[in-house]
Chain A
Amino acid sequence: MKTTTRIIMLSLLALAAAASPARAQSKSELTVALSSFSAETLDPALQGHNVKYYLSLMFDYLVGVTPDGQPSQAGGLATKWEPSADHKRWTFHLRKGVKFHDGTEMTSEDVKFSLQRATSKRSTTGYAGPLRTLIADIETPAPDRVVIVLKEPTLIIPTYLSRSLSTEGMVLPKKYIEANGDDVFARKPVGTGPYKFVEQAVGSHIKLTAVDNHWRIGVPKYKNVTFRLVSEETTRIALLRRGEVDVADISRERVKELEKEGFPIHMRKEEAIIHAWWILGPEGRTPPTKDKRVREALNLAIDRNEIAQSIFGGYAEPAVIPMGLTWAFKDVGFKVTPDMVYAYDPARAKKLLAEAGLASGFTLDVYAFQLPGFAEGKAFAEAIAGYWEKIGVKSKLIPVDYPAFRKMWVDRKAPGAVGYYNIANRDWIGAYALLEKQGYTPSKLNDTVNDPEIDGMIAQVMRQTDREKINALMRNIFTRLRSEHHGLPVVYVHSPYATSKTLGKYNPGTVMYDLFIDELARR
């Protein structure tokens, strides 16, 4: 028995030794733990937006942006771009001497191929649809020059192909994909980014290794970068404490605890707006929310400050404009004035309902679901339903999962019912793209607004080539969304990322679904 005990003790000691924290992890390694990898696809054409966390290290964009989302001629494969006088032809001048990870040189043919692939029927990226509608042809007059010919004059093409939006602007290797096929490319992607693909274990991790010298960041600081999928937050924090990961997304409620322990917290300010809306019927808005006074009353009944404090731990700010993405506000010169701010005023809300002939209230269905990056979803739904109860609106909470809600929304099967989304903040063109789909009647499927005046302005933005006029249109759209109460802007949430104590300075930026890990690797 003694021998057995000794063997067990020795085994445990050996295990403990083998499992000792990786504090001494080489500085050449960087590990990022994320709660979700989304679809885990490595082919940019198969998933937009939320795979950018890791794809933006492997692929360069045609148009680069700074971590703060501003177009940068130093950050992308195009060194400059200019429109023709009628804004129907955009010429992009490409950087010379850039090589793919397989050694072939990047040329205009690769850009053309990438864009055709991103807008093909197979593509499910974020803006494949709008680009398909816009692009008439792609010309390659020289290896370092590509011309995108459009069906309509527009200013927005460079932004669509930039790092600030989805994955359509990523430049892929034509020869490699044609020689090996889509499936091989999806398993062993090749790009021009500062990191090369090494391995992917679906459901576990994606490992990348640095190129020798990258045109943008030089010799990367970290030899290897690993993205680990760790769904459970307790585990991500334990890994951080053990020194096994360097960057991890955390919930707002764990911020103070980790700060006390000395872990630097990097906030992405106003990363998303929590925005709710009423599902339209087949013919548009339905009573009672067809009445503007009812929409205003439902807005006034919500205590946004309390929601920011209690549900989001103080890491949120009250929102004012329906679908009002604040990163776009500064681009178009939109200012939120004090009279636009929704006060918490249940008394006035009740008065408005009475004026609308609904003094005795009405029944309102509220769908309750969680979303990626919005774990507080159900608590949020319960909170707004609770506020509405106080003004006599009988809120019926309907727990569903998001796909079930989305079906009700796009099929218009539950007119007047309330749904919500955490919409990633983005610049003016991103905000425009959102409005074009969710606030524009011809988009049908996703529309939540149904306002002819707004429809007219949105249609003008697409064709307008004078930036000042675009800015004015965008300002007017935001103003009208607010004055007509076309939705329930509730809060802007800040998203925290914790880093190891030794990582040093880090700016996770303000570009949606992109943590700019490559900038962290810049020496």
Chain B
Amino acid sequence: MLRFVVFRLLQSLVALAILSVVVFILARATGDPLHMILPMNASEEDYANARQYLGLDRPYVEQYLSFVGRAVIGDFGNSIRARRPVIELLQARLPYSLKLAAFAMVVSLALAFPLGVMAAVHKGTGVDRAAQIVAILGQSLPTFWVSIVLVEFVAGRLQWLPAGGADSLASYVLPGFTLGWFVVAGMMRLLRSGMLEVLDSEYVKLARLKGVAEHRVVWVHALKNALIPVVTFAGIYFAILVTTAIVVETVFAWPGLGRLAYDGITSRDFPVIQAVVLTTAAIVAAVNLGVDCLYALIDPRIRYGR
């Protein structure tokens, strides 16, 4: 197990190194950030001054080495747009993204578990169909549309919940539900198919023959063995929710990482783009590693490195 973890860590580091080169080149291919920060009437001298001050006049290789050298100690340089250390911006935004993603995962798990299990237990019935409709709607309705409808009606017209911001627990409900509902479909369907397979297995039949109560058969014996694909899915989606909830963050004025990335891209803020991409990649790599380790805990039959 230890060998496996070390090997995966090394793999992740190599991937991050390659990614750092790719993101460094691609960020610069998008254009000159000075067009965004300098006023429309800026002169050639203003451009030259700003370029020199921001270190953008140095050779690309020098800029890259400087970026990588500092990034390994957590220094991503200064934001060209906000003119403050990028690490400060990340530290300010990441917790909001993590909290929103966690809330959304709780919502999706709370919906997907009962829906998935009920759909499997009542396969082919109205309950099964209703559960699938609820889940599929979450995935097929555009997140932007769901967000706008919730803001317009639930927050603006009915005034039940806050429309935006991250000031209170209530502020989490609408963005968390929007994100969570989107994830429900995949999770619920994985759980349903996993449960159907497990419920048809010999050991479940044996448990029933031995007189184990049905709810125990379903919720303990069957569910545990249907969980592995769901855990993988939830892990990957958690990482995705942390880093890509741009639409939801924009609509709900949520100060998260997605908005930071979006602002960074639209303003050609190289240091921010580089930092967000690398941080995102690191989160995805860490979550994947964590999920792999969880496999072993959930199912002791799985052994790595053998």
Which residues of A approach B to under 8 Å, CB–CB?
Answer: 15-16, 18-21, 39-41, 43, 46-49, 121-122, 124-129, 132, 166, 183, 186-187, 201-205, 228-232, 234-235, 237-239, 241-242, 244, 401-404, 406-407, 410, 421, 433-434, 436-438, 443-446
Say yes or no: A445-B44 contact (C-beta < 8 A), given A126-B39, A239-B163.
yes
Seed contacts A41-B82, A186-B84, A201-B92; 12 additional CB < 8 Å A-B pairs: A18-B168, A40-B81, A128-B46, A129-B43, A230-B253, A231-B253, A232-B151, A232-B164, A234-B151, A242-B155, A242-B159, A438-B40
Interface residue from B37, B84, B169, B263 paired with A124 (Cβ < 8 Å): B37
Assess whether A121 is in contact with B52, with CB atoms less than 8 Å apart: yes
- Whether A49 contacts B39 in the complex (CB less than 8 A), given A39-B81, A186-B84, A238-B163, comes out as yes
Contact between chains at B83 and A39 (CB < 8 Å): yes
Interface membership of B204, Cβ < 8 A: no
Q: Say yes or no: A238-B37 contact (C-beta < 8 A), given A122-B53, A187-B84, A445-B44.
A: no
Task: A374 to B32: give the CA distance in the assembly, Å.
Answer: 22
Q: Assess the A446–B40 pair: CB atoms within 8 A.
A: yes
A237 to B152, CA, bound (A): 8
What is the CA–CA distance of A49 and B38 in the complex, to the nearest angstrom? Answer: 11
Q: Which residues of A contact B35 (CB under 8 A)?
A: 402-403, 406-407, 410
Q: How far is the CA of A99 from the CA of B148 in the complex (A)?
A: 46
Closest to A424 in B: B40
CA distance A129 to B166 in the complex (A): 40
> A204–B36 Cα gap in the complex (Å)?
21
> Smallest CB–CB gap between A513 and chain B, Å?
11
Across the interface, A445 reaches (CB within 8 A) one of B36, B42, B162, namely: B42
Asked if B162 contacts A244 (CB within 8 A), the reply is yes
- List the B side residues contacting A122 at CB < 8 Å: 49, 53
- Partner among B33, B45, B50, B255 whose Cβ is within 8 Å of the Cβ of A201: B255
Query: Judging by beta carbons under 8 Å apart, are B260 and A235 in contact?
Result: no
15 contacts between A and B (CB under 8 A): A18-B168, A19-B162, A41-B83, A49-B39, A121-B53, A122-B53, A127-B39, A129-B45, A202-B89, A202-B92, A202-B93, A204-B255, A238-B152, A238-B156, A437-B43
Residue of A nearest to B155 (CB): A238
Say yes or no: B253 contacts A235, CB within 8 Å.
yes
Q: What B residues does A434 contact at CB under 8 A?
A: 41
Q: Does B290 contact A (CB under 8 A)?
A: no
Contact yes or no, A18 B169, CB < 8 A? yes
The CA-CA distance from A404 to B82 in the complex, in Å, is 21
Per-position contact with A for B145-165: 1 when CB-CB < 8 Å, else 0?
000100110011101111111
Residues 254-306 of B at the A interface (beta carbon under 8 Å): 255-256, 259-260, 263, 266-268
Contacts of B151 in A (CB 8 A): 232, 234-235, 238
CB distance from A157 to the nearest CB of B (A): 17
Residues in B with CB closer than 8 Å to A16 are 160-161, 170
Chain A residues with Cβ below 8 Å from B164 are 228, 230, 232, 235, 238-239
Determine the distance from Cα of A234 to Cα of B252 in the docked complex, in whole angstroms.
10
A232 touches B82 (CB 8 A): no
Given contacts A201-B92, A234-B152, A235-B163, contact A15 B37 (CB under 8 A): no
Asked whether any CB of chain A lies closer than 8 Å to the CB of B31, the reply is yes
**B53 and A228 form a contact (CB under 8 A):** no
B173 within 8 A of A: yes
Contacts of B81 in A (CB 8 A): 39-40
Closest 7 CB pairs of A and B: A238-B156, A19-B170, A437-B41, A238-B163, A204-B255, A203-B255, A403-B35
B250 interface contact, C-beta 8 A: yes
On whether the beta carbons of B31 and A229 are closer than 8 Å, the reply is no
Per-position 1/0 for B224-256, Cβ under 8 A of A: 000000000000000000000000001111011
B148 & A234 in contact (Cβ 8 Å cutoff): yes
Contacts of B92 in A (CB 8 A): 201-203
Q: By the criterion CB–CB under 8 Å, are B161 and A39 in contact?
A: no
Whole-angstrom CA separation of A128 from B41 in the bound complex? 10
Q: Measured between C-beta atoms, what is the minimum distance from A431 to chain B in Å?
A: 12
The answer for the CA separation of A230 and B156 in the assembled complex, in Å, is 14
Cβ B255 vs Cβ A129 within 8 A:
no
Task: Select one of B40, B161, B169, B250 contacting A437, CB under 8 A.
Answer: B40
Question: How far does the alpha carbon of A332 sit from the alpha carbon of B21 in the complex, in Å?
Answer: 55
Fill in one digit per residue for B68-97: 1 if any A CB lies within 8 Å of its CB, else 0.
000000000000011110000100110000
Contact among B53, B83, B163, B250 for A244, CB-based, below 8 A: B163
CB B174 to nearest CB in A, in angstroms, measures: 9
Question: How distant is the Cα of A40 from the Cα of B148 in the complex, in angstroms?
Answer: 25
Alpha-carbon gap, A49 to B41, bound state (A): 12
Q: Are A129 and B160 in touch, CB under 8 angstroms?
A: no
Q: A18-B169, A43-B83, A228-B165 are in contact. Are A48 and B160 (CB under 8 A)?
A: no
Distance in Å: Cβ of B161 to nearest Cβ of chain A: 5
Task: List, in ascending order, chain A residues with CB within 8 A of B250's CB.
Answer: 231-232
The smallest C-beta distance from B173 to any residue of chain A, in angstroms, reads 6
Q: How distant is A117 from chain B, measured CB to nearest CB, in Å? A: 13
Distance (whole angstroms) from the CB of A166 to the closest CB of chain B: 8
Contact B41 A241 (CB under 8 A): no
Separation in Å of the B179 CB from the closest CB of chain A?
16
Say yes or no: B46 contacts A21, CB within 8 Å: no
| A187 to B164 alpha-carbon distance, docked (Å) | 25
Residues in B whose Cβ lies below 8 Å from that of A43: 83
Question: Given the complex of chains A and B, what is the CA–CA distance between A407 and B268 in angstroms?
Answer: 13
8 A Cβ contacts from B88-125 to A: 89, 92-93
B160 nearest in chain A by CB position: A16
CB of A167 to closest CB in B, whole Å: 11
Chain B residues, Cβ within 8 Å of A125:
39
User: How far apart sit A241 and B153, CA to CA, in the bound complex (Å)?
Assistant: 11
- Give the chain A neighbours of B259 by CB distance below 8 A: 203, 231
Contacts of A46 in B (CB 8 A): 83
Residues of B near A132 (CB, < 8 A) are: 45
Is B44 a contact of A444 with CB atoms below 8 Å? yes
* B-side contacts of A403, CB under 8 Å: 30-33, 35-36, 268
Across the interface, do A232 and B84 meet the contact criterion of CB distance under 8 Å?
no
B residues near A228, Cβ cutoff 8 Å: 164-165, 253
Give Cα A427 to B115, complex, Å.
64
Q: How far is the CA of A410 from the CA of B156 in the complex (A)?
A: 44
Determine the distance from Cα of A49 to Cα of B42 in the docked complex, in whole angstroms: 13
User: In whole angstroms, what is the CA distance A129 to B44 when docked?
Assistant: 10
